[in-house]
Amino acid sequence: DSGVTQTPKHLITATGQRVTLRCSPRSGDLSVYWYQQSLDQGLQFLIQYYNGEERAKGNILERFSAQQFPDLHSELNLSSLELGDSALYFCASSAGGGGTDTQYFGPGTRLTVL
């Protein structure tokens, strides 16, 4: 158990819908990262927040957005869902904003878009 929690564990929805994924980092960690993992693309970095502020951006679509709240939990919002958005979405956390920090991953949310 990494100490990172994610809800829900599974999510099934339809194309065009909007969903919100939630992540709570390990106690004391200030950074939260979001990743998408699909069968054909591997693990793709989406976005990082550090202490409430966006720190780094990866291959995140405009239909996706995220935020980190004052209590440091984070939410990833996915809108206008398409079939291709079906994937495992992982959240990871680390103590600081970069440098030598190791990222610890949550159990993931499996999103299925029908």
Partner 1 sequence: GQNIDQPTEMTATEGAIVQINCTYQTSGFNGLFWYQQHAGEAPTFLSYNVLDGLEEKGRFSSFLSRSKGYSYLLLKELQMKDSASYLCAVRDGDYKLSFGAGTTVTVRA
Site for partner 1, rule CB under 8 A: 2, 33, 42-45, 48, 55-56, 58, 88, 90, 97-100, 102-108
Distances (CA, A) of 19 to 6, 28, 45, 51, 105: 14, 27, 19, 23, 21
Which is closer to partner 1, CB of 1 or CB of 62? Answer: 1
Which is closer to partner 1, CB of 79 or CB of 95? Answer: 95
Q: How far is the CB of 88 from partner 1 (least distance, A)?
A: 8
Q: Which residues pair with 38 in a beta bridge?
A: 42
Which is closer to partner 1, CB of 52 or CB of 107? Answer: 107
Q: How far is the CB of 81 from partner 1 (least distance, A)?
A: 21
Q: How far is the CB of 12 from partner 1 (least distance, A)?
A: 16
How many CB atoms within 10 Å of residue 20? 14
Tokens of 69: 């709240």
Which is closer to partner 1, CB of 15 or CB of 54? Answer: 54
